[in-house]
Structure 1
């Protein structure tokens, strides 16, 4: 079929657009992002730290709460996403999301070091406990989703709000929890395991000044591209 010649075999078989072309009725996709802004309360004492990390603009947006999403409109765009070009193929032409969009809309830095690092699971609990300054809850394997992640209910119970009399170290730990395990895990880099937040980004925020040297915008855009490439072949209601 000429209109799909751009798709390679990996995407062509299960691409939503092709299945719809063959009269299959597919469900509307739903965003994974959830609004926990009232549970994980932003504290003004985090602002100087986030300014050093270059994350204060996006933090100001996140703390106001997530916007209302239109699942039907999002699904229509995903159905026209083309993984080979990382763009939407629309009747009026092609459109994509650029680094300039990320910088202008989210206020994230798009220059600097790549957001990469070790993703070794051995010893992850010890690293997270050092990062948060507290002992993690003990979880049984096979219960509450995956084991190698910080359970969001526990995170919100412990770090939901920073105490008024908190010292500098406590503010730092709460700020780290809000950024890496809340803003990153629930908004910027959400995954399919809705009960847990990933620990893979904690090495980037041990030092607030070093964190300011990362190209967070590039990481967010790359993650979005990857999720759209997966979503255009997803046939269940849950998307990214």
Structure 2
């Protein structure tokens, strides 16, 4: 049975994505300005939490010219075939952080760069046992509303953020011919957005952040 709401609410996020909408606030320190102190902190954070050397972390920050890392670079830490040099697996927890950061960059925190992810998110993954205690759903909704507001401006040509949430809400509330039901959907196991087959490939974040 579809649920009825005039706009996307926290309850709607919980139903559609099956991730927490209450819990610890998703907040990080100030990584918005590329100054020497924040650059140094970012390099140390990458080295400590992803298990790379200070030199490797500094090289990556120099390449991106910001407080970010490349998604392709993150993927090398659990996909050794991406590397031409001999590969040594980092500690398991570091690999988990790299994967979760990669996942967040393609789901809840998609941005217009398309290829990079902010180091600020890495701070949230320092304690892996605490990842499931954050209000990821509330943050995803706030992030989406912020972008929807920006998208109403006449000079804005693109819209980003986790649009799977927006699409799922639309499919639930409007009868659209291009919304195809997913015959393999299992209500107790999958997020409600999985009821619909979308035109583009998406990554369901529910099971990873629940």
- TM-score norm. by structure 1 comes to 0.51
| 1:173 corresponds to | 94
Larger radius of gyration: 1
The answer to whether the aligner puts 1:132 opposite 2:50 as a matched pair is: yes
1:135-189 C-alpha deviation (Å, 9 max, x unpaired): 3361585x65x43210122222333379xxx98x722211111112x11112211
Q: Alpha carbons of 1:232 and 1:155: their partners in 2 closer, same or farther (altered >3 Å)?
A: same
The answer to whether the aligner puts 1:119 opposite 2:30 as a matched pair is: yes
Counterpart CA distance in 2 for 1:226 and 1:232 is 11
Counterpart CA distance in 2 for 1:127 and 1:236 is 34
Task: Work out which of the residue numbers 212, 219, 224 in structure 1 matches 2:132.
Answer: 212
Q: Alpha carbons of 1:150 and 1:140: their partners in 2 closer, same or farther (altered >3 Å)?
A: closer
The answer to whether the aligner puts 1:152 opposite 2:63 as a matched pair is: no
The answer to whether the aligner puts 1:96 opposite 2:96 as a matched pair is: no
Question: SS of the counterpart of 2:75?
Answer: helix
| 2:84 corresponds to | none
Name stretches of at least 5 consecutive residues in structure 2 with no aligned partner: 32-37, 82-87, 161-210
Q: Alpha carbons of 1:187 and 1:161: their partners in 2 closer, same or farther (altered >3 Å)?
A: farther
Task: Work out which of the residue numbers 21, 25, 29 in structure 2 matches 1:110.
Answer: 21
RCO comparison, higher one (Cα < 8 Å, 6+): 1
Deviates further, 213-222 or 129-138: 129-138
Question: SS of the counterpart of 1:111?
Answer: coil
Counterpart CA distance in 1 for 2:158 and 2:17 is 24
Q: Alpha carbons of 1:95 and 1:208: their partners in 2 closer, same or farther (altered >3 Å)?
A: same
State the superposition RMSD in angstroms.
2.7
Q: Alpha carbons of 1:230 and 1:127: their partners in 2 closer, same or farther (altered >3 Å)?
A: same
Question: SS of the counterpart of 1:117?
Answer: coil
Q: Alpha carbons of 1:130 and 1:111: their partners in 2 closer, same or farther (altered >3 Å)?
A: same
Counterpart CA distance in 2 for 1:224 and 1:218 is 10
- TM-score norm. by structure 2 comes to 0.58
Q: How many residue pairs are counted as aligned between the two chains?
A: 140
Counterpart CA distance in 1 for 2:21 and 2:60 is 38
The answer to whether the aligner puts 1:199 opposite 2:119 as a matched pair is: yes
Asked if structure 2 preserves the Cα contact closer than 8 Å seen for 1:139 and 1:147, the reply is no
Alignment of 1:1-240 (within 5 A): 95-120=6-31, 121-122=38-39, 123-134=41-52, 135-136=56-57, 138-139=59-60, 146-160=65-79, 170-180=91-101, 182-233=102-153, 235=155, 237-240=157-160
